[in-house]
A and B are shown apart, each in its own frame.
Chain A
Amino acid sequence: MSQQILNLVEASSLKSEVPVFDIGDTVDVHTRILEGEKERVQIFNGVVIARSGSGSREMFAVRRIVAGEGVERKFPLHSPKIAKIEVKRSGIVKRAKLYYLRDRIGKAVRLRERRTDIGSKESSGQKKS
């Protein structure tokens, strides 16, 4: 009973259209940022290495390499500040959490690409940015 009521409360904070992406996908996360009075969109590009939580508390973690240094950012999936999540590429992975990528550097970070004929996913490029 309690859980049903909590779901009811969370329903108001959920996005009506939940972005579709998988673990191992390379994505562009468009985040709204308020700079003074102006709002602008910042893009964080990287590989989705984990999803956690459920309901309005669901989070996902994106990892990328910036100037040779690994950077990870965790986003609340249902946050209104996440404007858009664009799937750039899909990788073949056998795990739900790709924490093993943290131990890898250089070429070893690359994931094998999953090619799909359905949809308009870009299929060019193999190197992770």
Chain B
Amino acid sequence: MEKEIQYVKNGKRLDGRGLEDLRKLKIEAGVISKADGSCYLEWGQNKVFASVYGPREALPKHIQNPYKALVDYQYRMATFSVPDRKNPKPGRREIEIGKVSGEALEKAIFLERFPNTTIDVYVEILDSNAGTRVAALTAASVALADAGIPMRDMVSAVGVGKAGGEIILDLNKDEEDAPDAVDIPIAILPRTEEVVLLQMDGLLTKEEWKKAFKLGVKGCKQVFEMQKEALRKKYLEAEKETAETENIEMMGD
């Protein structure tokens, strides 16, 4: 019999994180010049590119909706993003993730302002280690803001779950493979705390669920702060630079 893995030991997890710690998260907006909006995100080992094109006229014409815009969310995993080569053909899983994530973004966008149009969101996963759908959704939301598409709020997402009998935030692949693992991707609109994506895989008791959900919302808010920072960063830096040069010029005069 295999040796049993201890997922939580003295309040520390396998990779040394605490129970309520996120993996290292890095977000950068505006990385693809040809796209209307884009974002590169690294979340632990996950590496994600998101790009947004549009709104543009929806074609063929019969898919147009004269009352609102469509959101075409394409979630794709690169062939080299998983240990064994992945077939590049979009499978059942990718189509489902595209559907639910697109619907999550629809809740945030002012779609009614762009009738008969479509907003294309393409997300490519370059490297994965559990929680790619929340990473993709987080990146897509930053890319949408970078494209200047009017939104009610950002969309922030995080995974919560259970491994080794403890409720933990932001599971990695090892924890997701635990025998008692439960994985819950949550996406919220941080301002109103409205839930826009919620899936669950595994079994929880009522108390555990309440705890997990609370932790998820807390995690989403942490992610939101990072998104905010990433969007502002470019402009704050430029502003600071010019302020400095102006000071120097004034001193020179």
- A and B assemble together: no
Taking beta carbons and an 8 Å cutoff, which residues of A are in contact with B? none
